[in-house]
Amino acid sequence: SITALTLNMRVTDLGGTLPYEQTVAYEIELKNNSSIVASAVSLTDTLPGEVSFKDWVQQSGASYGSGAVTWGPQDIAGGQTVKIVFTVDINAASGTAINNTASFTSSNAGSGSAADSFVAGQPPERLVFLPVIMQ
């Protein structure tokens, strides 16, 4: 058994291209950090009640049904990353905190989960990299 899979999730407005007051995107990345194949990997993201699935940005073999985004079971080769991106409509009042958790299982590479949250009506957090200026 290897423990080489990492799962990351983030809420984004896709670089300002989405009207974050109504729609945001979830980016989910499942990476195999080892050189060994991770077998029978399955991913599930049951969407919170405050959002509803809208559309795929990057489907990567995932599907949506019964309130959940699912992927697998599939193998993930060593060093490979599976990226799934989809948009959701926000059904909550402005100021409502919305939390979402995705989880994965596998036959030989462990299991885990990742989560992210945002506040309805506010832009999702953006990572900003500023240059270091030394004098």
Q: What is the pTM of this model?
A: 0.89
Q: Is 107 helix (H, G, I), strand (E, B) or coil?
A: coil
Class (C level, CATH) for 5-108: mainly beta
What are the sequence ranges of the domains in the chain? 5-108
Q: Is 99 helix (H, G, I), strand (E, B) or coil?
A: strand
β-bridge mates for residue 55, sequence order: 87
Number of helices and strands (H, E) in the chain? 0, 9
Chain length of the chain: 135
In order of 10, 41, 133, the CA distances from 64 in angstroms are 18, 17, 46
Residue 27: which of 12, 17, 7, 43 has the closest Cα? Answer: 12
Q: What is the pLDDT along the chain (135 residues), one digit of tens a residue?
A: 556 899 999 999 998 899 989 999 999 999 999 999 999 999 999 999 999 999 999 999 999 999 999 999 999 999 999 999 999 999 999 999 999 999 999 999 889 999 999 999 988 875 444 555 555
